[in-house]
Amino acid sequence: MNRLRSHVELQIDDAYRGIIDRRFLRQVLHQALAQEKVPPAELCLTITSDERLQELNRTFRQVDAVTDVLSFPLLSPQGDPFVAPPDGLLHLGDIVISYPRAQEQAQQYGHSLQREMAYLIVHGLLHLLGYDHQRQEDWERMRWREEGILAALSCFLKG
């Protein structure tokens, strides 16, 4: 039996290539996908600068400010793919994270950079899966899932 496995494409800016553990990023994503019971899927995770996040935020959300994570889902708001994937993989979309913002927030919140990166990855993934936080009840539901996934990941997260 040919069993498909999720595929994660990583794009890391040159400035951060030697300091980011690619294996850790993939592990977080694969574990989070498993926690959400997502069938075999494909997504792209990009680690970049504050400037690039601000540019993307301005272009796609009309908000001229830096942010920590942006998600670009390929699923409809109902969670169905726009087009059925011929390769058997569910194409989820893209997550883009500002590495400098993650560093700053880890220090601000008093936890490790690894924990902050895991949180931002999970937050971005949940957006790809249709979660949102525009209304209070949606924020609470999303936060509950984030914490549940992070708790399941705690065995390999540092501080």
CATH of the structural domain 7-156, one choice from 3.90.550.10, 3.40.50.10880, 3.40.50.12160, 3.40.390.30: 3.40.390.30
| Residue 157: both structure tokens together | 């997260």
- Give CA–CA dist 39/139, Å, rounded: 24
Contact between 52 and 98 (Cβ < 8 Å): yes
CA distances from 148 to 40, 43, 49, 79, 159 (A): 21, 21, 28, 20, 16
Backbone angles phi, psi at 118, to 5 degrees: -60, -45
Whether the pLDDT of residue 2 is over 50: the answer is no
Q: Return the percentage of the chain with pLDDT > 70, whole number.
A: 86
Q: Check residues 21 and 75 and name the one with the higher pLDDT.
A: 21
Taking residues 7-12, what's their average pLDDT?
Answer: 94
Q: pLDDT tens-digit profile of 96-148?
A: 999 999 999 999 999 999 999 999 999 999 999 988 888 889 889 999 999 99
Taking residues 77-97, what's their average pLDDT?
Answer: 72
Burial 6-44 (b: 16+ CB within 10 A, else e): bebeeebeeeeeeebeeebbeebbebbbebbebeebbbb
Strand order in the sheet with 41-48: 7-12, 41-48, 90-98, 69-73
Question: What confidence category does residue 158 fall into, taking pLDDT thresholds of 50, 70 and 90?
Answer: low
| Closest among 39, 47, 43, 38 to 18, alpha carbons compared | 47
